[in-house]
Chain A
Amino acid sequence: MSDKKKELKPNTYKFDTLSLHAGYQPHKNAGSRQVPIYQTTSYLFDDVDHAAALFNLERGGHIYSRISNPTVGVLEERVASLEGGTAALATSSGMSAIFLTVMTLCEAGDHLVVSSQLYGGTVNLFRLTLPKFGIKCTFVKPRDTEGFKKAIQKNTKGIFGELVGNPGNEIMNMPEIAKIAHDAGIPLMVDATYQTPYLCKPFEHGADIVIHSLTKWMAGHGSSMAGILVEGGKFDWMQNDKFPTMTKPYDGYHGLSFAEEFGPTAFTMKARAEGMRDFGPCLSPQNAWNVLQGIETLSVRMKKHCSNAEEMVKYLSNHESVAWVSHPSVPDHPDHELAKKLLPNGRGSMIAFGIKGGKDAGVAFINNVKLASHLANVGDTRTLVIHPASGTHSQMDEATLKFAGLSHDMIRLSVGIEDIDDIKNDFEIGFRASRKPRLVSNQ
């Protein structure tokens, strides 16, 4: 018999277990093994005192489903647990999560430093819509780490970026940019939709707020819109006077100082208490439940997404109809080494590639693939393709397209979890069609 002393190890649940169980206690829900869908707008108060206590944040609980809902709450806790965050707030879409994050952080006269490689809708939010609220942004290319530092002004309240840029796959050097943000006393906000917490936990690399469009890989099934903001809990809002609505008695919520009262969950508490009250982009309990079904299999799906993506990278890299392939797993990708560090479990399933023959060839390819779906989404279990210059980023002018790193020959591919041979066979059909316009024009 060994007398070796057993090392103490924390027995907190790990990723795959949290994906299935976090945020939910069956014994408080009639023993229901599955999370119930609380399809209700509002919740009974015990008495007047109870009602007042809930409105005043003296007690935890639900008042009205625009502010919170028990099914949505399970989703919020589940994602917070998977990210290693203290708290989360689910919203009706990824875009509303970004908007709510910015509006919780900023007020008129404030400034943000923003990565230029973003989903087209997000670019428009920062470039055109936020200025209408008096919030200005400076765009910096994601690989220009020093540029983020130079762009910070006295009124800058945060840095925002997508960890892996959409659609060009440029990777932000998150640890270095986090240091720049923290040296300036401001938080780093990262949209990590492409990665999910299975591939990367941005809080471990210095991010302070993580945002997801849950519509994508987290749900996977492509049935439901949803978004979420997650708080890391490390950022010290009281270190300077940049965030008075977090640190001082705030008229916007009955004189409450969110930072003093709620510390590591202050941002989420303010986003919910103020943002959901005033803007109201709430997630429906049905959609929250749908997303929960997807999260149950997140790690299983992400492994298959990544292995299929790596197969597709090899296939495309050797294909006669392909001019270039961009994916962090490709050794000559400028961020290959950084990707190894930030994405140790896989480099994701988004591939950008250039098709020989330019725009016409791209259009022919898209119009002829049968298995791959041509649509404006990513992260579905099914393989998806789009031509960004004529689709997701079509509202950009030529100069903005160029600044966003887009070209007319670019195809954006979101690799699904179908049999890899079927995806390749489908692409062969598309590539054959893409070569026809050139054959015709050469005659």
Chain B
Amino acid sequence: MKFKVNGHEVFASTGGRPFDKKKPLIIFVHGSGLTHMTWVLQTRYFAFHGYNSLAIDLPGHGLSSGKSLKSIEDMADWVSDVIDAVGHKEASLVGHSQGCLVTVECTARYPNKIKTLSLMGGAGAIPMNPELLSLAENNDPKAVDLMMDWAHGPAGHFGGHPVPGLYHINTGTMLAKSRTIQNTLGVDFRACDNYKNGFEAAKKIKCPTLSILATDDKMCPVKEGKKLASLIDGSQVDIIDNCGHMMLLEEADRVLTVLKKFITTNYPPLSS
């Protein structure tokens, strides 16, 4: 569906179901340079099971208009604005990678709005390799190739996509190249590199929180994810073996099972 935030059109996938204000809201926030499509194996399930499922395209990404936001703090405020724009007072947030920084900051800033927080491949800080950052800011497609290499674990490099016939690395590459690299990945990487408030923000979070981490995640290693989780009261941690940073696709079923249990327990769906 499309709606406006701060004067710019926003696209969000509703998981194949019409938006219904009576249902509780889950917002899915994608990672650097990516789009709502990374969430397809989670969003559709929730959309068909009593939730408003909104997989957003950040400004300037995917099908959303406007320019990419330059800081994690701006993105956090923007996610809060999305909740207002769709007429809800509260939401459950799910983030991946950069989306974790955004949702952690948003939850810390708007504690009354955010009911649960689910982090996938999250960390308190995501400092960027300077060469990778430079490649992305200079619109070099090699930045995407490097990201896809590092983002997939050894198993994911072979393939084995949960959806028959889809090939992980090439699909991810096309998503990351769907808009101009320097305007999406370049801006996002810089925002990640600049963001220093993750650990402080985490200490302020009081809502139920889940961290899903993966043993072969090179971008946000397990120890970094655990460090972040340790700062959040009562945070649950689930670790997936033989999986890389793109766990939401590499091990989509496992992620969905864990996420489903966590969200339905802490933020129940509207009964049909």
A-side residues, CB < 8 A to B, are 8-13, 21-25, 27-28, 52-53, 56-62, 68-70, 72-74, 76-78, 80-81, 84-90, 233-234, 238, 254-257, 260-265, 268-269, 272
Q: Which residue of chain A is the closest to B166 with respect to CB atoms?
A: A87
Judge whether B161 and A8 touch: CB under 8 Å.
no
Is there a chain A Cβ closer than 8 Å to B242's Cβ? yes
Is there a chain A Cβ closer than 8 Å to B245's Cβ? no
Give Cα distance in the complex from A70 to B146, angstroms: 29
Q: Mark B41-78, 1 if CB is under 8 A from A, else 0.
A: 10011001000000000000011000000000000000
Say which residue of B37, B158, B162 sits within 8 Å of A262 (CB atoms). B37
Most chain A CB inside 10 Å of its own CB: which residue of B45, B62, B162: B45
Give Cα distance in the complex from A12 to B35, angstroms: 22
Give Cα distance in the complex from A18 to B154, angstroms: 13
Judge whether B146 and A10 touch: CB under 8 Å.
yes
Kindly list chain B residues whose C-beta atoms are within 8 Å of the C-beta of A84. Answer: 170
Judge whether B161 and A85 touch: CB under 8 Å.
no
B-side residues, CB < 8 A to A, are 13, 16, 35, 37, 40-41, 44-45, 48, 62-63, 129, 131-132, 135, 142, 145-146, 148-149, 155, 157-167, 169-171, 174-175, 178, 242, 252-253, 256
Give Cα distance in the complex from A69 to B41, angstroms: 19
- Contact A59 B167, CB 8 Å, known A22-B159, A25-B159, A86-B174: no
Give Cα distance in the complex from A150 to B178, angstroms: 30
Give Cα distance in the complex from A426 to B140, angstroms: 53
Kindly list chain A residues whose C-beta atoms are within 8 Å of the C-beta of B256. Answer: 59
Q: How far is the CB of A334 from chain B (nearest CB, A)?
A: 34
Q: Which residue of chain A is the closest to B39 with respect to CB atoms?
A: A261
Judge whether B163 and A60 touch: CB under 8 Å.
yes
- Contact A10 B149, CB 8 Å, known A263-B174, A272-B165: yes
Instruction: List 17 A–B pairs whose Cβ atoms lie within 8 Å, in order of A's numbering.
Output: A8-B142, A10-B146, A12-B169, A24-B158, A27-B242, A53-B48, A59-B162, A60-B163, A69-B164, A81-B159, A81-B170, A86-B167, A233-B170, A255-B16, A262-B40, A263-B35, A268-B165
Given contacts A23-B159, A23-B160, A25-B160, 17 further A-B contacts (CB under 8 A): A8-B131, A12-B148, A24-B159, A25-B155, A56-B44, A58-B41, A59-B256, A80-B165, A84-B170, A238-B63, A261-B37, A261-B44, A262-B37, A263-B174, A264-B37, A269-B163, A272-B164
Q: How far is the CB of B54 from chain A (nearest CB, A)?
A: 13
- Contact A89 B165, CB 8 Å, known A263-B35, A263-B37, A263-B174: yes
Q: Which residue of chain A is the closest to B170 with respect to CB atoms?
A: A86
Judge whether A80 and B170 touch: CB under 8 Å.
yes
- Contact A28 B171, CB 8 Å, known A53-B45, A261-B37: no
Judge whether A88 and B174 touch: CB under 8 Å.
no
Give Cα distance in the complex from A256 to B48, angstroms: 13
Kindly list chain B residues whose C-beta atoms are within 8 Å of the C-beta of A57. Answer: 16, 44
Give Cα distance in the complex from A75 to B7, angstroms: 47
Q: How far is the CB of B61 from chain A (nearest CB, A)?
A: 12
Q: How far is the CB of A19 from chain B (nearest CB, A)?
A: 12
Kindly list chain A residues whose C-beta atoms are within 8 Å of the C-beta of B178. Answer: 263-264
Judge whether B129 and A8 touch: CB under 8 Å.
yes
Give Cα distance in the complex from A22 to B165, angstroms: 11
Kindly list chain A residues whose C-beta atoms are within 8 Å of the C-beta of B146. Answer: 8-10
Give Cα distance in the complex from A56 to B149, angstroms: 31
Q: Which residue of chain B is the closest to A255 with respect to CB atoms?
A: B16
Q: Which residue of chain B is the closest to A81 with respect to CB atoms?
A: B167
Give Cα distance in the complex from A76 to B164, angstroms: 8
Give Cα distance in the complex from A10 to B218, angstroms: 13
